[in-house]
Structure 1
Amino acid sequence: MTAIERDNLAVVTGAASGIGLEAAKAFAAAGMRVVVVDRSDDATMRAALEIGDLAFPMTCDVSDRKAFDTLAATIGQRHGTVSVLMNNAGIGAGGDVLAPSADWDAVLGVNLMGVVHGVQAFVPAMLASDAPGVVINTGSKQGITQPPGNTAYNVSKAGVKALTEGLAHTLRSHAGGRITAHLLIPGFTYTGMTARSDEKPAGAWSAKQVVDHMLTGIAAGDFYILCPDNETTTAQDHKRILWAAGDIVENRPALSRWHPDWKDRFARYMAER
């Protein structure tokens, strides 16, 4: 018996579009009942209609703890215990360190605290049951390599990484292997949040490709589900992540990959086989 199984219940936040919508479709295609959560009534209803009879639309601002707790209680009363929880809701704006505090509050409230709220609202009931479970939190490569430009977003996704790593340890301690946590790390993906035009860039993956990769990773038992795309290979991602870790180990300047004294060395490093 697995969590992703016919008649089991999945909850997906940020499910009205992009990766969340494709994930909800995939869970429904597996015969699961799916609660489609987003903050817009109209968008959530359209997504549920697109998914079909197994989808149940519910509206929630994931940054609002009381609203999330109410959502979880309502889902429990109507549909029972959750087998798959995907904390996927996210926003992309925010800005650099000196951006307005309201922008920071918005990004951290959705991208980080929305995941905290989801975990705390649903996981205790999952632990109390005797059924298999899966928790998927959507992170980002930016939360690992920290490219300059949108520090607020980077911080939020770095927090999701740390949170999900801690969750994995907690679940191992309290549930053995019955409930697993997974960190989804998308690459360049064409979604409503990232789209610059109506046509998908050649270098981007589709949201469906990300979800297919995610499901393969979950089936394999992977915690870090690192997605390549059409312009960045897994090997390149590995080298970039190792370089970022090397900043600490070798005491380089912060974000040396973009530092004028180090960027040429980084380019040579990436060119090495």
Structure 2
Amino acid sequence: MPSPTAAFRKGANALITGGAGGVGLATAKLCASHSMNLILVDNNSSKLDEAKSAVSSAGAGHVETHNLDVSSIQDWQKLKSHVEEGGKKLDFLHLNAGIGLNGDWTDTGYFHKIFEVNFFGAINGINTFFPHFQDNESEQKAIVITGSKQGITNPPGNPAYNASKSAVKTIAEHLSFDLAKSSPSTSVHLLVPGWTFTGLTAARGVTEKPAGAWAPEQVADYLYQKMGEGKFYAICPDNDVDWETDRKRMTWTMGDVVYERMPQSRWRDEYKEEANKTMEGMKLGAKQAD
């Protein structure tokens, strides 16, 4: 079978949500470098105009932009009707749009808004364009969904965000399993960025890329590398946290269930010393290929 990276090819059609900046725009530039046609979706009209110019300069074929609320299924249906005019179908779908909010256990709106965008934004995209990827046994196609390490290691501090990204991980895994049976030429990938310098970072007052952070283009390049290796999980390191450290943190987190520890034990005072010593001494099995 061809590599999943065969989805990146001249004339193929790519749709990217959250495509006006950050990782979405970096993925769009990656698609443009392969002369793909691009549909950039975002809720920031002014940034979409800038993104269109950037990807056109990077070598993209036809480029169009759409202002869209990913939590609105009506918006998705309108977009589908537009995309399918003339019989067009997607070859690459990156469901990348997401938000991060702060709230507390009394703030119902905080939980609803994060799930509406981070989880149902991805679900709406899958539901809308699933027919473009099912029963596919011909040219290679790919679906990429952006998750988060917080949806895996579950650190304290933002339960709604962590839960939304944990749900995204679960949905991506099921989608991969089901399409592997029905559509062997469609691959699914969970992209999990590490610390990445994006517009959201800048909005918090950080105007220059910190030394420990990756640029969005590094995340897109890593996605391409992992797709080339046939991997489902593209869990990115950064300049502060390497892959081995990520593996140890994820292994410890799963141990909370297996060994019946208290949840989020790595951050509890009674477990901190044990967690640090255990992770320092961990000898894990096969590593990711470099």
The two structures share one fold, judged by TM-score above 0.5: yes
Partner of 2:8: 4
2:113 corresponds to 1:109:
no
Q: Structure 1 residue aligned with 2:50, among 35, 46, 63?
A: 46
Q: Structure 1 residue aligned with 2:215, among 187, 206, 210?
A: 206
In the superposition, relative to structure 1, how do residues 79 and 107 fare at CA in structure 2: closer, same or farther (>3 Å)?
farther
Which structure 2 segments of 5+ residues have no match? 283-290
Partner of 2:285: none
Distance across 2 between alignment mates of 1:241 and 1:79: 44
Map 1:24-63 to 2 at 5 A: 24-52=28-56, 54=61, 55-63=63-71
Partner of 2:143: 135
Query: TM-score, normalized by length of structure 2?
Result: 0.90
Distance across 1 between alignment mates of 2:24 and 2:126: 17
In the superposition, relative to structure 1, how do residues 213 and 79 fare at CA in structure 2: closer, same or farther (>3 Å)?
farther
Distance across 2 between alignment mates of 1:122 and 1:167: 13
Map 1:104-253 to 2 at 5 A: 104-127=111-134, 130-176=138-184, 178-195=185-202, 196=204, 197-253=206-262
Shift of 1:100: 1.2
Shift of 1:188: 0.7
Distance across 1 between alignment mates of 2:108 and 2:161: 13
Shift of 1:29: 1.0
Query: Deviations for 1:246-273, whole angstroms, at most 9, x for unmatched residues?
Result: 0000000010001110011112123326
SS of 2:231 mapped into structure 1:
coil
Which structure 1 segments of 5+ residues have no match? none
Partner of 1:64: 72
Partner of 1:20: 24
Query: Deviations for 1:139-171, whole angstroms, at most 9, x for unmatched residues?
Result: 000000000111111011001100000000110
In the superposition, relative to structure 1, how do residues 99 and 78 fare at CA in structure 2: closer, same or farther (>3 Å)?
farther
Contact kept, 8 Å, 1:85 with 1:134, in 2: the verdict is yes
Distance across 2 between alignment mates of 1:230 and 1:121: 37
Distance across 1 between alignment mates of 2:195 and 2:106: 24
Contact kept, 8 Å, 2:252 with 2:279, in 1: the verdict is no
- Letter paired with 1:210: V
In the superposition, relative to structure 1, how do residues 192 and 79 fare at CA in structure 2: closer, same or farther (>3 Å)?
farther
Distance across 2 between alignment mates of 1:100 and 1:68: 28
SS of 2:274 mapped into structure 1:
helix
Work out the number of aligned pairs and report it.
271
Q: Percent identity?
A: 35
- Letter paired with 2:110: D
Distance across 1 between alignment mates of 2:43 and 2:139: 29
Distance across 1 between alignment mates of 2:33 and 2:132: 25
